[in-house]
Structure 1
């Protein structure tokens, strides 16, 4: 059975919801899926004062477990058009895996959350994808087989480079059903691609 890791960082729960939808999609393709989050690096008092969602159910990831998976789907909210420092700190610890080629040939994908429609969705996805390509992963995006990203009927995330959501400037908007469907679609595609490559 194909093993998929959904690895994410979420300050306020938006990316966490997208991670759960990605996992649903991968499971619908028959994959064995684990959801893990990267460690919080902000001091606890700072995180609490900022209203971070600290009670997330996913267990904390360990770098050494990454080679156990056939596919790794990485998500984080944007920070000024790039990945969060928490995700960067975690990925910066993968040098040993890179040196050994431990992730070469695996499947990778990216998803993100931004405050606004043009607040770095695609640049953040590319920030993630750049890391994954250096680690030797083959990238799966969110192609236009997911027609939901073509809609003009509502404000929505979605990019050919990965599933996205828009949180709103005050963080009050949670992922829409269309955005969650995009995440499920991408999760399924990643699982299907990993299964084909490993057969």
Structure 2
């Protein structure tokens, strides 16, 4: 039965909200196990507190060894200058042993993100994650236009063919909209359906 991990990093809770929506969609898509885990914080605690990071999050902290037991991994990270966050990069950089053994070959991978602005590098960040997953040997699932909400031009929306996303505003005040969350749910459902087809 398909087991899915939603693995994320979130400084202010936007990516955390998307992670929960991805997991909701994955459960609806028929996955037998859907776990949500976050990568460790690397920012010194006092610095994080001064920057008002959301340090209390319900998801347990993942270890690299956790990754091998899943058939699909959906990676969520905020954008940092058009690329994945250093916290996520540091975590994925520790997977060399798993990569060398081919532990991810043929499994399903996907990405989602958040930026401060509409043109703040969402697609580039998704590609930075997807490139990592392709090096792992994973089969990539994006967010096709079957999520029609991403085509709206009447309001600010996240989403692209490469993955679900949201726009947080420079001060973090904008929260994911229902369209953004629907995109995350849809992507999670597609990941689950793909994993079920591949792994039962």
TM-score by length of 2: 0.98
Is 1:6–2:34 an aligned residue pair? no
Segments of 4+ moved more than 2 angstroms: none
Is 1:19–2:43 an aligned residue pair? no
Query: C-alpha deviations, 1:111-130, integer Å up to 9, x for none?
Result: 00000010000000000001
What is the CA-CA distance between 1:136 and the residue it aligns to? 0.9
Alignment of 1:1-199 (within 5 A): 1-31=1-31, 32-199=33-200
Q: Distance in 2 between matches of 1:100 and 1:65?
A: 15
What is the CA-CA distance between 1:11 and the residue it aligns to? 0.2
Q: Distance in 2 between matches of 1:138 and 1:30?
A: 18
Gaps of 5+ in 2: none
Q: Distance in 2 between matches of 1:103 and 1:66?
A: 9
Q: Distance in 2 between matches of 1:111 and 1:193?
A: 17
Q: Distance in 1 between matches of 2:116 and 2:181?
A: 16
Gaps of 5+ in 1: none
What is the CA-CA distance between 1:30 and the residue it aligns to? 2.0
What SS does the corresponding residue of 2:153 show, helix, strand or coil? coil
Q: Distance in 2 between matches of 1:24 and 1:153?
A: 27
What is the CA-CA distance between 1:180 and the residue it aligns to? 0.1
Aligned length in residues = 199
Q: Distance in 2 between matches of 1:131 and 1:61?
A: 18
What SS does the corresponding residue of 1:83 show, helix, strand or coil? coil
What SS does the corresponding residue of 1:191 show, helix, strand or coil? helix
Q: Distance in 1 between matches of 2:17 and 2:199?
A: 28
What SS does the corresponding residue of 2:40 show, helix, strand or coil? coil
What SS does the corresponding residue of 2:93 show, helix, strand or coil? helix
Query: C-alpha deviations, 1:11-59, integer Å up to 9, x for none?
Result: 0000000000000000011211000000000000000000000000000
Contact 2:6 2:35 in 1 (8 A): yes
Q: Distance in 2 between matches of 1:56 and 1:175?
A: 17
TM-score by length of 1: 0.99
Contact 2:5 2:73 in 1 (8 A): yes
What SS does the corresponding residue of 1:67 show, helix, strand or coil? helix
